[in-house]
Structure 1
């Protein structure tokens, strides 16, 4: 039997997180390129960003044909969040002049493997500068296991980026993530919950 979903947040009624949603007015537009397999994952955090941020859109796909929007973004002021060797570190104070010009932030939503696949198939992304961080904030997102120590959820990566680019207060976004974790773990047996939240 299909579970009844909340009309607003699209989570099941028992895990609805609407009470924790706060409107966040961001100046840098966030464009999330989402691997199709992420959409059905209950613990996916991209949709939390879409619920809160005033400037955010999620586009599902895997390649240039799916992400036609990339052709219309301003080249000089759009950046891709991806930790490659050319990436400008947002937390490097010497780059502050560069940060003030950013108008659009592209983020790939998927596992590392799927994100890399999107990067390979979407050559339109090659035209944008990449950004990353020297120091990662500690991930709060314990309910989805990641194979790499430098893994952040999509919400955490975007919240930290907007904090560094436009000094946006990340607390409402982190509170929403905490609510998701609380709701997703509320029915777990204690020994299972302890394994996740240790």
Structure 2
């Protein structure tokens, strides 16, 4: 028999994260495009980001027919948080001028699935690309990062907003993420975690 799930955070009811999820306003609008393969992932961090930000939207799919209209929302300038040629570093808003806030588009999936989203939605490939600051490391202690600086979707969004909207801090978004990781470590047992993950944890 399957366990009851919280309809909001989709975690088992006895491990519901809703009490830890904030509701943070942001000048930046965040549009998360989630590949369907991520929906049932144990660490669905994109959902946590969408729940914790009042100015965020999460769409699930491969081809997004509404994307052209979403990218042209009045009052925003769209950019894609994804590596590539001519990528620009994220910079804090210039408070001395009236520049439009960003519509930050964030693909959510493995690197292969995220690239597929760009391929089947050509509007994404045409967006200016932005990158996170260098030297960041993930708090995801249950999985070795595929490359230096690789973060979960939630961590990437937090790092981006902390950069763009400094000195405003969005670290409160990470509280349910950290609780989720602690819960999984507890479920697997200390010995199993130490044997399989502790070495990579120290490396971070």
TM-score bin, normalised by smaller chain: 0.7 to 0.9
Whether 1:155 aligns to 2:160 is no
How far does the alpha carbon of each residue in 1:86-136 deviate from its partner, in whole angstroms, 9 at most, with x for none?
A: 111115x8x9589x5333110000011111111111101133111002414
**Superimposed CA distance per residue, residues 172-197 of structure 1 (whole angstroms, 9 cap, x where no aligned partner):** 01222211111222211212222335
Secondary structure in 1 aligned to 2:188? coil
Partner of 1:196: 197
- Which blocks of at least 5 consecutive residues in structure 1 are unaligned? none
Q: Which runs of 5+ in 2 are unaligned?
A: none
Contact 1:70/1:125 (8 A) holds in 2: no
Q: Where do residues 1-198 of structure 1 align in structure 2 (5 Å cutoff)?
A: 1-63=1-63, 66-74=64-72, 77-90=77-90, 100-167=99-166, 168-194=168-194, 195-197=196-198, 198=201
Please give the secondary structure, in 2, of the residue aligned with 1:186.
helix
Going from structure 1 to structure 2, the CA distance change for 1:136 and 1:86 (only over 3 Å counts) comes to same
Separation (CA, whole Å) in 2 of partners of 1:67 and 1:96: 33
Number of paired residues?
194
Q: Distance in 2 between matches of 1:174 and 1:78?
A: 25
Alignment root-mean-square deviation, CA: 2.4
Q: Distance in 1 between matches of 2:68 and 2:192?
A: 42
Segment drifting more, 24-33 vs 129-138: 129-138
Q: CA deviation at 1:60?
A: 1.1
Quick check: 1:26–1:53 contact (8 Å CA) kept in 2?
yes
Give 3-state SS (helix, strand or coil) of 2:42's partner: coil
Q: Which runs of 4+ in 1 moved over 4 A?
A: 95-98
1: CA distance between counterparts of 2:118 and 2:42? 24
TM-score where L is the length of structure 2: 0.85
> Could you tell me whether the CA contact under 8 Å between 1:59 and 1:67 is conserved in 2?
no
SS of 1:108's partner is strand
SS of the residue corresponding to residue 32 of structure 1 reads strand
CA 88–32 in structure 1, closer or farther in 2 if over 3 Å, else same: same
